[in-house]
Amino acid sequence: ESTASPSQTAAARPQATLLCCVEQRRERKVPPSFTKRPSDSLVEGVGRQIRLEARVSGSQPLTVTWTKDGAEVHASDKHEMSFENNVAMLMVKDSAVSDSGLYTCNVKNQAGKTSCKTSLSISGKAWVSPGLHLVKGSGEGTATFIAKLGGDPIPSVKWMKGKWRQVTHGGRVSVEQKGPDARLEIREVTRSDAGQYRCVATNKHGEIESAAELSVTKKEEMGGAGDFRATLKK
């Protein structure tokens, strides 16, 4: 049986110590930290989808929770949560004034924990989707505008052409509103229907509007009613 000489044993010790130190470095856990935070404060309107996002780093596994005014937020029809690729997300659906509060994103792992806060304020002020949408396929020679509304209470709507002329229901024109959805339809469009159309939404908190420019062009191969095509002017 062979035995190592004292010099051989001494030479092996530093190597063993070095390997031990390397192994310890590999096992060292990095506490969580935020590389991207949501805004410190947000003001949004009623009826919107509000998305809060934070990007985090640190040793896995990382555990993420959200709280509102100190109470934990759970996944539900109102709240959607995810944590993928180190991005923590909380979505508040169909926002209401009662969703206002202080939201906190809490992250922890074996090495520590951290958090960041966002103050969310939901305003009942009226809002209308930016840029009126012209429905495609609504029929040759027909222009149909739709607008999405929000606010508390839901605002009432009037449609305007140009600066002063109000567009009302009757004849070739149909105007309707069902809750948060407003609609203006103009049938058998002519060149005189071209111009700027505005959807003006109003509730007790104020007034806001959205506008789009309607372009009407003649189709060369058709005559009579419906011989014009309505498009949004770019």
Give the span between the Cα atoms of 176 and 162, in whole angstroms: 19
Per-residue confidence of the chain (234 residues) as pLDDT tens digits? 545 555 555 454 555 555 545 555 566 899 999 999 999 999 998 888 999 999 999 999 999 999 999 999 999 999 999 999 999 999 999 999 899 999 999 999 999 999 999 999 998 988 888 878 777 545 568 889 999 998 888 999 999 999 899 999 999 999 999 999 999 999 988 889 999 999 999 999 899 999 988 888 876 434 444 455 556 554
Report the SS3 class of residue 8. Answer: helix
CB-based burial label for 173 (10 Å; 0-12, 13-18, 19+): middle
Cα–Cα distance, 3 to 29 (Å, whole number)? 40
Tell me the CA distances in angstroms from 19 to 8, 16, 24, one per residue in order: 17, 5, 9
State residue 1's pLDDT score.
53
Write down the pTM of the prediction.
Answer: 0.60
Residue 130: asked if its preceding bond is cis (omega within 30°), the reply is no
Backbone angles phi, psi at 170, to 5 degrees: 145, 150
- List the structure tokens of 105: 């994103």
pLDDT of residue 226: 46
CA-CA distance, 7 to 225, in Å (whole number)? 107
Count of residues making up the chain: 234
Q: Which domains does the chain have, with CATH numbers?
A: 33-123 (2.60.40.10), 127-232 (2.60.40.10)
pLDDT of residue 223: 46
